[in-house]
A and B are shown apart, each in its own frame.
Chain A
């Protein structure tokens, strides 16, 4: 029962955050909504026993990444977004397209039998230790390669942020 309550609580948080993200005019509000979504997701992760993932969801996403976002919003002094009508296509084609996509995905997800499998706490424990074993075992190579990804991101960020002197 608690499980259900928690699920619906976090799910409601996700949904509300996502809708608010869309609804808010000021980016900082959107960013805060996104943090709500992420935090709720972390809750959902924990609900499914994904401890490690839930933790880093908070640390990396809600913590690091969103802080970066907020920082940049502040840095660039972004105000309330103007309501420009730059794109009719996005509204006329894009939104119906997205709606179609949503409908189709949902439909398929719902009609697949496996989807009805109940998920309960403790089915799978994604503890740090297990994850670590995997990361340094079969997923060693991706893990190591991630360093390259980070490296390239750092170099890119440096290049982009640096002022080019004439």
Chain B
């Protein structure tokens, strides 16, 4: 029997890995992947709770999160392509025309 907390802590770990990825990765695509990681972590929490609560709406939520993630990735990658076109780089540290 795996206690709920294992899932939750695992999920929290993944979430923080996502946050850290955002903070330390330089490649925009990798950063975006970190966000996906965060969403996945949340999904794990949902499913874990759903199981614990015996409520399927958690699953439904995961479903919607996935849809949203898909939509986001379509748009996000589009944006990344647009940025790459104009700046010829994927290094996030070099994308700082707008500041101060």
Contacts and interface: CB of A to CB of B under 8 A. Distances in A.
Task: Decide if A and B touch, CB cutoff 8 A.
Answer: yes
B9 A50 contact: no
Interface in B15-66: 15-21, 23-27, 29-30, 32-34, 36-37, 40, 43-44, 47-48, 50-52, 54-57, 59-60, 62-64, 66
B69 A65 contact: yes
A44 B16 CA distance: 19
Interface residues of B, number: 72
Chain B at the A interface: SS class: helix
B56 A130 contact: yes
Contacts of B48: 48, 119
A126 B43 CA distance: 14
B23 A53 contact: no
A79 to B, nearest CB: 9
A57 B56 CA distance: 16
A81 B91 contact: yes
Contact of A91 (B4, B5, B24, B78): B24
Interface of B: 1-10, 12-21, 23-27, 29-30, 32-34, 36-37, 40, 43-44, 47-48, 50-52, 54-57, 59-60, 62-64, 66-75, 77-82, 84, 90-94, 96
Given A49-B51, A159-B78, 4 more contacts: A7-B2, A57-B62, A156-B78, A161-B81
